Amino acid sequence: MSGGIGLRLFVCIAVLFPVFLAVGTTSSILDMTPPISRLALADLRDTFEEVHNGHRHEAIDILEPTGTPVHAVVSGTIRKLFLSNRGGSTIYQFDEMGAYCYYYAHLDRYVEGLREGMRVERGDVIGFVGSTGNADARTPHLHFAIFELGPERLWWKGKAVNPYPGLVDAVKRAK
Ligand SMILES: [Zn+2]
């Protein structure tokens, strides 16, 4: 009898443990708030699979006027402030678990005082929309991407995840 209970307990843990892990690693995407205030569903278009300048886009572009505040979509840490030819002024932000990296590109500038290693809360202003890097100056926008980090947690080495469904949910929750 006790062996049966023990076995059942073991099966229960074996079944539930991966579920806990899965919930733990997807929770920050499910907790996102929109990177732009008063964002509407009509402002979002799924261009993740499109080819832009010879590369799979793997991101969502949100068109906004230059200077529009950009908010951290989750709480976590500013991991890297990076100036690149394509992305211009960019922010790589890790979530609390270091499971996902949130990437904000073509920024006009960072919010004053933003530093690598700094903790930010969800909703904090971290930068402003612009057209730095290879963005067309006539169409300033936020290029927003999400990367699933490997166990080594390197900001430049993640697997792109389509942010579109998470952004749609975030906009619906924000209403
Ligand atoms: Zn883009």
For the entire predicted model, the pTM comes to: 0.85
R_g over Cα of the chain: 19
39 CA from centroid of ligand 1 (Å): 17
> Rounded to the nearest 5 degrees, what angle is found at the Cα of 49, between the Cα atoms of 46 and 96?
70
Region 135-158 average pLDDT? 96
- What is the per-residue pLDDT across 101-124, written as a single tens digit (0 to 9) for each? 999 999 999 999 999 999 999 999
First to last CA, the chain: 53
Q: How confident is the model at residue 8 (pLDDT cuts 50, 70, 90)?
A: low
Let me know: does 99 contact 25? Beta carbons within 8 Å.
yes
Backbone φ and ψ of 15, nearest 5°: -80, -45
Residue 21, pLDDT above cutoff 60: no
26 CA from centroid of ligand 1 (Å): 23
Cα 72 to Cα 104: distance, rounded to the nearest angstrom: 9
Q: For residue 4, what pLDDT is reported? A: 62
